[in-house]
Each structure stands twice: as structure tokens, then as C-alpha cells.
């Protein structure tokens, strides 16, 4: 199993196009005004934004994008007018993170973790048991 895609909600999808392209994602599906899909510049994952009429509190979900040169990326985005809630800061879990929101209010984290993303010093080495495999 491999996580391929995350779909984020938005009342207006069009503002997401410029925002996520500015972050470096490539637009691969354009079904405006209701849906768009982007491809990350590294790896195989995709991110979609889908129109929704849902009202209520914003989601607590955070989408993480790993950046090789986090500080350089944030400097470039700030110079382009992107607003951050938190500029790059070292975290106790051995990641460096910057926080922001997309135009729909979805929470994002740009980060650099290196090997600590999958192999932190406190990693649990439990055996994985797959109940179903197709």
C-alpha cells in the first residue's frame, strides 16, 4: 500500500491553482471551477483541491511537504508574497518546520526532516502484519 493523494476542500478552487503552483506543484488536472489536481515535483504523490459547500470549523488536518532547502524555499515564497504563520524553526522531534495556510484555510507545513522522518532515534521496530493483501 502506498499513499498517493490527499484531497483538500475549498469553497473556491481557482485561488488554489496560483497558490500551489507558487509552491512548485504542477497542475495535471484542470476541471475548474470544481476540481484541480497537482503533482509534486519530487516523488509520485498528488494533491487535489475539490469544491465543497460545507460550512463549519476548519479541519485540524495538516498536509506536510518536505523541502530539501526549507529555508531557501521559505525565503523565496516570502519574497513572492506568501504569508507564513511560523517561519522555519527547529523542533524537538528533529524536524525543521514552517507553517502556513492555503487560500481555503487548509493548514500546511513545509519541513525538512532528512532521515529522522522515517528513522527517528525513538522509532518502534515492530513487525508489520498485513491482514489483507490483494
In CATH, what number is assigned to the domain containing residue 106?
3.10.180.10
- Distance between CA atoms of 15 and 19, rounded to whole angstroms? 6
130 inside domain: no
Number of domains in the chain: 1
132 inside domain: no
17 inside domain: yes
Q: How many residues does the chain have?
A: 134
- The structure's pTM equals 0.89
In tens digits, the chain (134 residues) has pLDDT values of 788 899 999 999 999 999 999 999 999 999 999 999 999 999 899 999 999 987 777 788 999 999 999 999 999 999 999 999 999 999 999 999 999 999 999 999 999 999 999 999 999 987 767 777 66
133 inside domain: no
- Distance between CA atoms of 17 and 28, rounded to whole angstroms? 11
71 inside domain: yes
Q: Which residue range is the domain that position 66 belongs to?
A: 5-117
64 inside domain: yes
CB 98 within 8 A of CB 70: yes
Q: Is 99 exposed, middle or buried (0-12, 13-18, 19+ CB in 10 A)?
A: middle
Amino acid at each position: 500500500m502506498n499513499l498517493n493523494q490527499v484531497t483538500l476542500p475549498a469553497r473556491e478552487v481557482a485561488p488554489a491553482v496560483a497558490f500551489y503552483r507558487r509552491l512548485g506543484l504542477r497542475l495535471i488536472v484542470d476541471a475548474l471551477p470544481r476540481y484541480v489536481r497537482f503533482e509534486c515535483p519530487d516523488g509520485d504523490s498528488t494533491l487535489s483541491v475539490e469544491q465543497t459547500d460545507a460550512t463549519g470549523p476548519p479541519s485540524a488536518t495538516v498536509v506536510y511537504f518536505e523541502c530539501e532547502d526549507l529555508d531557501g524555499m521559505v525565503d523565496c515564497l516570502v519574497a513572492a508574497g506568501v504569508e507564513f504563520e511560523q517561519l522555519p524553526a527547529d523542533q524537538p522531534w528533529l524536524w525543521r518546520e514552517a507553517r502556513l495556510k492555503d487560500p481555503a484555510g487548509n493548514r500546511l507545513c513545509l519541513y525538512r526532516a532528512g532521515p529522522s522522518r522515517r528513522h527517528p532515534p525513538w522509532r518502534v521496530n515492530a513487525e508489520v502484519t498485513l491482514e489483507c493483501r490483494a
